[in-house]
């Protein structure tokens, strides 16, 4: 048994190229995504159609153009060219200042500003409209200095768990989960399918080693590897991205280990149902990748999805682990706060193991 595990370790660690891939990929991805992903928009290209062209409208235009959200791509003279520039995809929004803008504003009638947004990307469109609205409100308030004498409700806003609304707080737990799960599931499913395909599995099966021991031998090195990856990612997320560790690190690592074991069990299960490396890979990558990204709450909040999808999301192990990671890291949750999610992951692990053993035994008795 011991010799067998050592053989597995040697096979994995001796292959430098694979080692570079196994450790390099997670690190490269967490660095890239941690820095690159952002839910906010900066530097969106817009056009302004200023029909008023007086001091106020120009000041308003300047205020828009000088905000970090927008880059004034061009001043246009008529509505004619708008559709064409949208179609080229360069401009995301057009702001139209009406001719009577200043006059109406001075008379206290209220001026309307039309904003045409390219809603082929609805998210970008609504964010841009909101930014424009905020700038307009700001502009208006700077014109109304007299408000100080009336009773105003002044909101004091505190964003709990994420004071400065950093997107990275949301992305890091998600990326952490996806990398751990997919890499672990992929590695095991492929390496077991490989032994099956090359026929070396049969040699192992006729040896006095028990099937359970074979699987253990295959899986243990990957548990260690993934655990190292998990630790590295957490260290990076603390030092590089300033993620808080409000909860217990031991608890987080233990949960991480549990999740790794779950992913490996899933990988074993995939390998027992697939007939070649190719199918194992397609199942563990193609079938898991997008659902893990989209149905786990990594990017899109599950609460906003249709009810049926909220049900489906319950069978995604990644959903539960993301909750655990966020709760422990950001909210400082203790074990009693996340025991339910933990139990679900344990049950999933057992489910995959039992199913794999069943499948495995059936195959043995067929031969």
Partner 1 sequence: MRTIFFLLQKEFIQIFRNKMMLPIIFVMPIIQLLILSYTATFEIKNADIAFVDLSQSRSSRELIAKFKGSPFFTIKGNAFSIKQYDKSMLNGDIDIIIKIPNDFESSLLNGRSTFVQLISDAVNGSAANLMTAYALQILFDFNRNIITETYGKDLMSSQIKILPRYWFNPELNYKTYMVPGILVLLVSLIGAFLSGMNVVREKEIGTIEQLNVTPIKKYQFIIGKLFPFWVIAMVDLIFGLILAKLVFAIPILGSVALILGVAAIYMILVLAFGLFISTITDTQQQAMFIAWFFFVIFIIMSGLFTPVEGMPKWAQIINIINPIAYFIDFMRLVMLKGADFVDVQMQILKITVYAITMLGLSIIRYRKNA
Restricting to residues 312-331, name those near partner 1 by CB under 8 A: 312, 323, 326-327, 330-331
Distance CA 260, CA 277 (A): 21
Identify residues 290-309 at the interface with partner 1 (CB under 8 A): 290-291, 293-295, 299-301, 303-306, 309
Taking the least distance from each CB to partner 1, the nearer of 341 and 349 is 341
Binder among 48, 64, 170, 262 for partner 1 (CB under 8 A): 170
Distance CA 217, CA 211 (A): 10
DSSP letter, residue 201:
H
Binder among 286, 365, 366, 367 for partner 1 (CB under 8 A): 286
Rounded to 5°, the CA angle 224-197-215 comes to 35
Q: At what angle do helices 168-198 and 16-36 cross, to 10 degrees?
A: 160
Taking the least distance from each CB to partner 1, the nearer of 70 and 352 is 70
Taking the CA of residue 315 as centre, how many other CA atoms within 13 Å lie in the half-sphere pointing to its CB? 9
Could you tell me which stretch among 205-213, 223-231, 251-259, 270-278 binds partner 1 (CB under 8 A)? 270-278
By CB under 8 A, is residue 27 in contact with partner 1? no
DSSP letter, residue 1:
-
Do residues 48 and 75 make contact, with C-beta atoms less than 8 angstroms apart?
A: yes
Total number of residues that touch partner 1 (CB under 8 A): 116
- Beta carbon of residue 2, minimum distance to partner 1 (angstroms, whole number): 25
Question: What SS3 state is found at 320?
Answer: helix
Distance CA 99, CA 17 (A): 66
Write each residue from 43 to 72 as x if it is in contact with partner 1 (CB under 8 A), else as -, in one continuous string: xx----------------------------
Cβ neighbors of 307 (< 8 A, separation 6 or more) are none
Lookup result for tokens 């008379």: 107
Write each residue from 126 to 145 as x if it is in contact with partner 1 (CB under 8 A), else as -, in one continuous string: xx-xx-xx--xx-xx-----
By CB under 8 A, is residue 76 in contact with partner 1? no
- Cα–Cα nearest to 183, from 23, 10, 66, 303: 23
By CB under 8 A, is residue 169 in contact with partner 1? yes
Sign of the C-alpha dihedral, residues 130, 136, 137, 139? positive
Binder among 62, 66, 114, 314 for partner 1 (CB under 8 A): 114
Tokens of 166: 């950093």
Binder among 49, 64, 181, 182 for partner 1 (CB under 8 A): 182
- Beta carbon of residue 98, minimum distance to partner 1 (angstroms, whole number): 10
Identify residues 146-165 at the interface with partner 1 (CB under 8 A): 147, 149-163, 165
Write each residue from 189 to 218 as x if it is in contact with partner 1 (CB under 8 A), else as -, in one continuous string: -xx--x------------------------
Distance CA 230, CA 213 (A): 25
- Beta carbon of residue 134, minimum distance to partner 1 (angstroms, whole number): 9
By CB under 8 A, is residue 252 in contact with partner 1? no
- Beta carbon of residue 343, minimum distance to partner 1 (angstroms, whole number): 15
């Amino acid at each position: 048994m011991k010799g067998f595990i050592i053989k597995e370790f040697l096979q994995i660690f001796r292959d430098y190229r694979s080692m570079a891939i196994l450790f390099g990929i997670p690190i490269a991805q967490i660095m890239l995504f941690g820095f690159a992903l952002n839910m906010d928009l900066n530097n969106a290209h817009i056009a302004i159609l200023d029909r008023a062209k007086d001091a106020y409208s120009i000041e308003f235009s300047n205020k828009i153009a000088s905000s970090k959200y927008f880059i004034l791509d061009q001043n246009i003279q008529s509505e004619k060219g708008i559709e064409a520039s949208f179609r080229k995809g360069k401009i995301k929004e057009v702001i139209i200042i009406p001719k009577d803008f200043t006059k109406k504003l001075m008379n206290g009638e209220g001026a309307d500003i039309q904003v045409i947004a390219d809603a082929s990307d609805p998210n970008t469109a609504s964010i841009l409209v909101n930014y424009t609205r905020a700038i307009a409100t700001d502009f208006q308030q700077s014109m109304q200095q007299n408000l100080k004498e009336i009773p105003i409700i002044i909101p004091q806003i505190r964003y709990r768990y994420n004071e400065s609304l950093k997107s990275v707080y949301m992305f890091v737990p998600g990326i952490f989960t996806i990398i751990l799960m997919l890499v672990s599931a992929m590695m095991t499913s492929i390496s077991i399918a490989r032994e099956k395909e090359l026929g070396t599995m049969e040699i192992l099966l006729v040896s006095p080693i028990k099937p359970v021991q074979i699987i253990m031998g295959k899986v243990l090195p990957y548990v260690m590897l993934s655990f190292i990856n998990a630790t590295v990612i957490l260290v990076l997320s603390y030092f590089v991205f300033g993620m808080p560790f409000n909860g217990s690190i031991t608890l987080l690592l233990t949960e991480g280990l549990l999740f790794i074991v779950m992913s490996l069990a899933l990988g074993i299960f995939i390998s027992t149902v697939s007939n070649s490396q190719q199918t194992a890979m397609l199942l563990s990558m193609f079938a898991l990748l997008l659902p893990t990204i989209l149905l786990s709450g990594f990017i899109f909040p599950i609460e906003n999805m249709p009810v049926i999808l909220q049900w489906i999301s319950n069978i995604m192990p990644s959903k539960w682990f993301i909750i655990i990671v966020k709760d422990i890291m950001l909210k400082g949750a203790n074990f009693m706060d996340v025991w339910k999610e933990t139990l679900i992951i344990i049950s999933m692990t057992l489910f995959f193991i039992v199913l794999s053993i069943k499948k495995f035994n059936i195959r043995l008795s067929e031969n």
